[in-house]
Amino acid sequence: GGDLIDSPGIREFQLDDLTDKEILSGFREFKPFIGQCKFRNCAHINEPNCAIKQAVESGEIHTQRYQNYLNLIS
């Protein structure tokens, strides 16, 4: 779900007021894997034994959704 916003003249969208943790919570399909990583402070980017990255590799999380997450937190 979500909303499509058409604002003529607006070319950028930012989530500066949200923390990475808040952004992560918006990806509902990630929820079963949060807390399952090897490291408690896992950012789900380059860490070894990351449950979310493993779920992407196994097809449990769609690659594009994971890429969207990475784009939002970068």
pLDDT tens-digit profile, the chain (74 residues) = 566 666 677 666 666 678 888 888 889 999 999 999 999 999 999 999 999 999 999 999 999 999 999 998 88
Are 23 and 54 in contact by the 8 Å Cβ rule? The answer is no
The arrangement of secondary structure in 20-73, i.e. its CATH architecture, is: Orthogonal Bundle (1.10)
Mention every residue, 6+ apart, whose C-beta is less than 8 A from residue 70.
Answer: 45
Using CA atoms in the order 55, 49, 70, 62, what is the torsion angle rounded to 10 degrees? -10
Supply the pTM of this predicted model: 0.75
So what's the pLDDT on residue 20?
86
Using CA atoms in the order 39, 42, 46, 49, what is the torsion angle rounded to 10 degrees? 40
Within 18-62, where are the H helices?
20-25, 51-58
